[in-house]
Amino acid sequence: MRIAFTLLMSLVLASCETIPVSTSALPSSFTTENIMKVHQGMSSGEILQLFGEPKSINSAVCGRAPNQWICTTWKYGEFPYDRASFTFSGEHGSYILNNFDVDRD
């Protein structure tokens, strides 16, 4: 009986060990070092090199008349968790970064 109790307690204590788990919804490429490289005027190719393919892409009309333009937004992560968005101006193949937002916990 004493051996069974000892084995049971060993199992209980072993199961209490915490294993670190990443809870970020952003790809692992969203390091502080990479985020600090981001600046307005970057090409979409540079963003792809730093962070990989976006999770979603949205196209819209940005600005106010008469200064409107088509803008494209790339999103990474998952709302309401860690997420990032990059908004570009320009034509497909020559996007230029206009605005970005990275929200990490």
Give the DSSP letter string of 38-103: --TT-BHHHHHHHH-S-SEEEEEEES-TTS-EEEEEEEEE-TTSSEEEEEEES-TT--EEEEEEEE
Boundaries of domain holding 30: 25-103
| Confidence at residue 14, expressed as pLDDT on a 0 to 100 scale | 52
CATH number at residue 89: 3.30.1450
5 part of a folded domain: no
pLDDT digits (tens, 9 = 90+) for 37-72: 999 999 999 999 999 999 999 999 999 999 999 999
Assigned domain for 9 exists: no
* Number of domains, the chain: 1
Instruction: Kindly state whether residue 57 falls inside one of the protein's structural domains.
Output: yes
Residue 91 binned pLDDT confidence (cut-offs 50, 70, 90)? confident
Residue 14 lies inside a defined structural domain of this protein? no
pTM for this entry: 0.74
The pLDDT-based confidence of 19 (bands split at 50, 70, 90) is very low
User: Is 2 contained in some domain?
Assistant: no
Q: Tell me, what's the pLDDT at 5? A: 47
In a domain, 10, yes or no: no
Residue 70 lies in a domain: yes
User: What percentage of the chain exceeds 70 in pLDDT?
Assistant: 78
pLDDT of residue 20: 45
